[in-house]
Structure 1
Amino acid sequence: MRLAFIGSSLVSSYWNGAATYYRGLLGALAQRGHAITFLEPDAFGRQQHRDIPDPDWARVVVWPADQAGMARALEAAAGHDVIVKASGVGVFDAELEEAVLSLRRQGSIVAFWDVDAPATLESVEKDPDNPFRGLVPRYDLVLTYGGGDPVVRAYERLGARRCVPVYNALDPATHHPVPPDPALDADLGFLGNRLPDREARVEAFFLEAARRLPERSFLLGGAGWEDKALPANVRAIGHVPTARHNGFNCSALAVLNVNRASMARYGFSPPTRVFEAAGAGACLISDAWEGIETFLEPGREVLVARDGAEVAAHLAGLDRGRARAIGEAARWRVLAHHTYEQRAALCEAVLEGRGREAAA
């Protein structure tokens, strides 16, 4: 298949948490023989903060973030077997969501790939005049970054012909154990950009734990936290490029996952950070959300907390030996059941099935 993917960025993780997902999944599809064209706007300083050069397995087209650039992106996408508009491109999202539907030809499929389905669905449900509501039934397929049955049912209520979750996973060639980096040493690390529906949960789970354990050290990575008032034992280090994620995950006693509010409400939405940390053999503490046991076993492969007090209690009860055992158990679990190679096989079967239906 020849796949054109209009998304935020493949080459930069700057203000772009989906970068790891795109690289892992599309790279695995390329290994299976599919031709990938990724069309991304030159926006938000991402091209100035690249993590990687253009990969040899994809053609990357960077288009100017203006009307003429959008037209060029659509022209470049036309003629592919599969044309994907991802959520959260960041510019001209509404215009692109409608425009890609005009690119459908006999035998091709046009899909919407939602990398933040809970937030998308909550936005549509709150606004009956949201134009995306009327577009959903026109797509051949909706794919999501997670959300499980709750997201599938919600999309079906909007008239989706078919909705399939394709979860985050691990690329073991990219995320794996490395020696600890003394510059990233801490008792607990958290990595995530400062976003409106995440900040309150970071306060409740990460910063509250820091306040309860003033003698312990906490490391905060991600963009946007520079002017945030932080406890004295929390060190903010700004944007962490993907090349340093392994070091970040392997240098702290434990690392924390905090889902964004909408993802926590829907459940079944493990972010990329969960699989990155597990792949590196890190001891992961996660906020509680429905379906976590589908991916990691609580108590043995992940520690689950309902609030900052429970995060602090988990951290206070950890020693290096137990942290290492939890991290290793998680690593073997994701290597066995949650790799991008496995996700790509699912995605291929789904796309080829829809392609046959479109051709018929």
Structure 2
Amino acid sequence: MKIAFFASSLVSAYWNGAATYYRGMVRALHERGHHITFYEPDAFERQQHRDMDDPPWAEVVVYGAGSEAEVLRTVERARGADLVVKASGVGVHDALLERAVLDLQGPSTLVAFWDVDAPATLDRLHGDAQDPFHALVPRYDLVLTYGGGEPVRRAYRGLGARECVPIYNALDPSTHHPVPPDPRFDGELGFLGNRLPDREARVEAFFLDAARRLPQARLLLGGSGWQDKPLPANVKYLGHVYTADHNAFNCTPRAVLNISRESMARYGFSPATRVFEAAGAAACLITDAWEGLEQFFEPGREMLVAASGEEVAAHVEALDAERARRIGRAAYERVLAEHTYAHRAAQLDALLAGRRRVPAEVAA
């Protein structure tokens, strides 16, 4: 199958939290025999902050995002693909792309909207009845999401989607795996995440509050945008942590912390990429509580769950090295058994098997 992907970036994780997800899915689909062309805009200095070369498992097309005409010419290059994917959050000309890819539909071409931030998209649509995407949702052959479970599926069906299926985040064991500890990341607790409007208050509540309660502990904060944020004296700010260092970041501290964005925690069933990256490194993960967690990992045995910064601090204080190793090892075994991108690509193949386009008027 020839698959055309229009998304933010495959080759750069700079201000691009979906990079690991795209890389894992695209590589796994390639390994199942598909040919993927990944179209990404030259925007947000991502090409200047690449953390990988063009991979052998995808053709990467970087297009100029300066004019609508150039975007439309790029879309036309995908004509004839078996599956065309418009991902959410490209960051430039999203509305144009959402319309333009639908012109590629044909008897042998399915067009899917792949929502890598369904909570944000749904909140936007529910808040604006005039959003032009309302009219487009029913025209897509399929809506895929990387999280959200039944609440998101129900919301998309309410917007007229023909079908909505979650393809959850997962692990690529070839890129995220255990490595020796790195002294740069020594500490009791590490958190990695960019500063975003619907995450910042939760970082205050779960990470910075925990840091204030653990004055003798050393905590690490990685990610872009935190440089002007007042931090407790025991928090070391690392700035952007490149993908190549994620394994060491996960493997070195006693524990690492996952903090869901507010919208994802509200919808539930939305495990962040970091959850699977940490599990793949056999890290001891502490996560904020969110509905659906038990579908992926067993709380208390495969990861620790906290409802507040106070509970995060209590977990860190009670955690010795041996227990941290046991929890990390249990998560590692679970993720390899059930939550790799090979599992997710097989799910997508099964979903697409034998599927043919149904014209909108018939589907309606």
Where on the TM-score scale, by shorter chain, does this alignment land: which range? over 0.9
Higher mean C-alpha displacement, 348-357 vs 208-217:
348-357
Query: What is the distance in 2 between the residues matched to 1:72 and 1:185?
Result: 49
Aligned to 1:252, the other structure's residue is in SS state coil
Q: Aligned residue for 1:168?
A: 169
2:336 alignment partner AA: L
Given that 2:107 and 2:356 are in contact with CA atoms closer than 8 Å, whether structure 1 keeps it comes out as: no
- How far 1:351 sits from its partner (Å)? 2.3
- How far 1:73 sits from its partner (Å)? 1.9
Q: Aligned residue for 1:222?
A: 223
Query: What is the distance in 2 between the residues matched to 1:254 and 1:357?
Result: 49
Query: What is the distance in 2 between the residues matched to 1:353 and 1:257?
Result: 38
Q: Aligned residue for 1:178?
A: 179
Given that 1:192 and 1:222 are in contact with CA atoms closer than 8 Å, whether structure 2 keeps it comes out as: yes
Matched ranges for 1:196-215 at <5 A: 196-215=197-216
- How far 1:355 sits from its partner (Å)? 3.2
Query: What is the distance in 1 between the residues matched to 2:42 and 2:36?
Result: 19
Given that 1:141 and 1:354 are in contact with CA atoms closer than 8 Å, whether structure 2 keeps it comes out as: no
Q: Aligned residue for 1:70?
A: 71
1:222 alignment partner AA: G
Q: Deviations over 1:159-179 (max 9, x none)?
A: 000000000001111111000
TM-score (norm 1): 0.98
Query: What is the distance in 2 between the residues matched to 1:3 and 1:245?
Result: 29
Q: Aligned residue for 1:253?
A: 254
1:6 alignment partner AA: F
Q: Deviations over 1:103-128 (max 9, x none)?
A: 11112100000000011101111111
Query: What is the distance in 2 between the residues matched to 1:129 and 1:140?
Result: 22
Query: What is the distance in 2 between the residues matched to 1:299 and 1:131?
Result: 45
- How far 1:356 sits from its partner (Å)? 6.5
Query: What is the distance in 2 between the residues matched to 1:149 and 1:132?
Result: 21
Query: What is the distance in 1 between the residues matched to 2:315 and 2:200?
Result: 21
Query: What is the distance in 1 between the residues matched to 2:62 and 2:199?
Result: 29
Aligned to 2:355, the other structure's residue is in SS state helix
Q: Deviations over 1:15-56 (max 9, x none)?
A: 001000000011100000000000000000100111110000
Query: What is the distance in 1 between the residues matched to 2:164 and 2:354?
Result: 13
Query: What is the distance in 2 between the residues matched to 1:66 and 1:74?
Result: 14
- How far 1:233 sits from its partner (Å)? 0.5
Matched ranges for 1:117-156 at <5 A: 117-156=118-157
**Coordinate RMSD, CA, aligned:** 1.1
Query: What is the distance in 2 between the residues matched to 1:114 and 1:352?
Result: 21
Aligned to 2:353, the other structure's residue is in SS state helix
Q: Deviations over 1:143-194 (max 9, x none)?
A: 0011001100000000000000000001111111000000111110000000
Matched ranges for 1:5-24 at <5 A: 5-24=5-24
- How far 1:353 sits from its partner (Å)? 4.1
1:331 alignment partner AA: Y
- How far 1:72 sits from its partner (Å)? 2.8
TM-score (norm 2): 0.97
Q: Aligned residue for 1:310?
A: 311
Q: Aligned residue for 2:37?
A: 37
Q: Aligned residue for 2:52?
A: 52
1:131 alignment partner AA: P
Given that 2:88 and 2:94 are in contact with CA atoms closer than 8 Å, whether structure 1 keeps it comes out as: yes
- How far 1:208 sits from its partner (Å)? 0.4
- How far 1:350 sits from its partner (Å)? 1.4
Q: Deviations over 1:191-236 (max 9, x none)?
A: 0000111111101100000011111011000011111110000111
- How far 1:69 sits from its partner (Å)? 2.9
**Which consecutive unaligned segments of at least 5 residues does structure 1 have?**
none
Q: Aligned residue for 1:195?
A: 196
1:30 alignment partner AA: H
1:3 alignment partner AA: I
1:98 is aligned to 2:110: no
Matched ranges for 1:292-303 at <5 A: 292-303=293-304
Query: What is the distance in 1 between the residues matched to 2:71 and 2:203?
Result: 35
Query: What is the distance in 1 between the residues matched to 2:222 and 2:242?
Result: 10
Count residues in correspondence.
359
Q: Aligned residue for 1:328?
A: 329
Query: What is the distance in 2 between the residues matched to 1:291 and 1:236?
Result: 31
Matched ranges for 1:232-247 at <5 A: 232-247=233-248
Aligned to 1:152, the other structure's residue is in SS state helix
Higher mean C-alpha displacement, 12-21 vs 346-355:
346-355
1:299 alignment partner AA: G
Given that 1:140 and 1:354 are in contact with CA atoms closer than 8 Å, whether structure 2 keeps it comes out as: no
- How far 1:95 sits from its partner (Å)? 1.1
Matched ranges for 1:260-271 at <5 A: 260-271=261-272
- How far 1:352 sits from its partner (Å)? 2.9
Query: What is the distance in 2 between the residues matched to 1:246 and 1:146?
Result: 23
